[in-house]
Amino acid sequence: MNTLAYAATSATEKLGLSKINRREVAAGDVLIEIDYCGVCHSDIHMARNEWGNTIYPLVPGHEIIGRVKKVGPEVSAFKPGDLVGVGCMVDSCQSCSSCNEGLEQYCENGMTLTYGSPDPASGGFTYGGYSSHIVVSEKFVLHISEKLDTQAVAPLLCAGITTYSPLRQWQVKKGDKVGVIGLGGLGHMGVKFAHAMGAHVVMITTSPEKGEDAKKLGADEVLISKDSEAMNSHANSFDFLLNTIPVGHDMNPYVALLKRDATMTIVGAIEPLDPVSGGGLIMGRKRIAGSLIGGIKETQEMLDFCAEHNIVSDIEMINIQEINEAYERIISSDVKYRFVIDMKSLKA
């Protein structure tokens, strides 16, 4: 069986709950009936074992929206019927300095990922959101406002927090000139957030067509990265750059856009980046940083910010039966901007 087909058929309803040993609802746990699950590019990497660490059976999915069905006796923050979300992680040590600071994604003892991760609670592995149900410790469950379009909220749990967190960490504020590099699942959320924070948002893309799309999402300006004259005219002018390019690339043209003391944060490319000129960093005391999703507290803050500013993801709804085609379309950047699976389709 090819891995893509596997990803589809491995959903819990196909395999049966018993086979994948989903854990029982413990005292601090919440049982969630899943309504929608976003499709992240990392689902593809994992389903295809492209990072070399996949353990099968695998149930992908870490942009999960659903309703609480049942809670354990020690759960205080949730009750049956609540609209909730689960993102990329479902546990962490809760005792290291990162966890103490609310930065569970950097847990020094290793966070437990929502799928494909050894699960200390069950002794088995975690299984993600391409599923009818999931059991998660209440510490990793998020409150979702009923005000928003529920199905379009799902991608906020990964694409949303991944872009919101660095904008907050680097204190993007009203009037700042912020560049969002790349327009995909991450980039389109970056544009929406930076716009809502009051920044002057510049979409930096190779494609004029994507530039026009970005304007509809809130970009004030478009900078075509292949146009060296245009790039020069923006040199040393950006307060912050959010780099969502998902693969290694030449960062020097973007470093040149930064103001003195400004930062470009990488959120997409985990692979080796092309050689950066030391001089480009030195001459303006510039910075390149990384950022990984966000902590639970900040994820809740982001969801509340979205409710306040009426921000959701732009999505295309699919049934689980269409997942393999969706994966191919993601790979060819043919989606505006995130697929979300309607989990009712599992019962079809």
Residues that bind a copy of itself in the complex, under the rule CB under 8 A? 98, 103, 106, 108, 169, 236, 248, 260, 263, 266-292
User: How many other C-beta atoms lie within 10 A of the C-beta of residue 345?
Assistant: 16
| Rounded least distance, CB 104 to a copy of itself, Å | 12
For residues 319, 325, 331, 334, the Cα torsion angle rounded to the nearest 10 degrees is: -70
What is the H or E stretch that residue 254 is in? Answer: helix 252-255
Of the pair 12, 98, the CB lying nearest a copy of itself is at 98
| Rounded least distance, CB 291 to a copy of itself, Å | 5
| Rounded least distance, CB 295 to a copy of itself, Å | 11
CA 291 to each of CA 44, 128, 164, 262, 294: distance values in angstroms, whole numbers, following the listed order: 21, 22, 10, 15, 8
Of the pair 169, 324, the CB lying nearest a copy of itself is at 169
231: left (phi over 0), alpha (psi -120 to 50) or beta: alpha
Of the pair 35, 104, the CB lying nearest a copy of itself is at 104
Reply yes or no: is the peptide bond before residue 337 cis, omega within 30 of 0.
yes
Of 161, 112, 132, which Cα lies nearest the Cα of 22?
Answer: 132
Of the pair 10, 92, the CB lying nearest a copy of itself is at 92
8 A C-beta contact, residue 73 and residue 26: no
8 A C-beta contact, residue 214 and residue 233: no
Give residue for tokens 């990984």.
292
Of the pair 108, 328, the CB lying nearest a copy of itself is at 108
User: How many other C-beta atoms lie within 10 A of the C-beta of residue 140?
Assistant: 22
| Rounded least distance, CB 108 to a copy of itself, Å | 7
State how far the Cα of 332 lies from the Cα of 329, in Å rounded to an integer.
Answer: 5
Q: Which amino acid is at 189?
A: M
Of the pair 75, 103, the CB lying nearest a copy of itself is at 103
| Rounded least distance, CB 278 to a copy of itself, Å | 4
Strand partners, 125: 118
> What value, to the nearest 5°, has the Cα angle with vertex 114 and ends 108 and 120?
60
Helix (H, G, I), strand (E, B) or coil at 127: coil
Of the pair 212, 250, the CB lying nearest a copy of itself is at 250
Q: Which amino acid is at 74?
A: E
| Rounded least distance, CB 172 to a copy of itself, Å | 16
Of the pair 39, 264, the CB lying nearest a copy of itself is at 264
| Rounded least distance, CB 273 to a copy of itself, Å | 5
| Rounded least distance, CB 261 to a copy of itself, Å | 8
| Rounded least distance, CB 254 to a copy of itself, Å | 13
State how far the Cα of 90 lies from the Cα of 114, in Å rounded to an integer.
Answer: 5
Of the pair 232, 236, the CB lying nearest a copy of itself is at 236
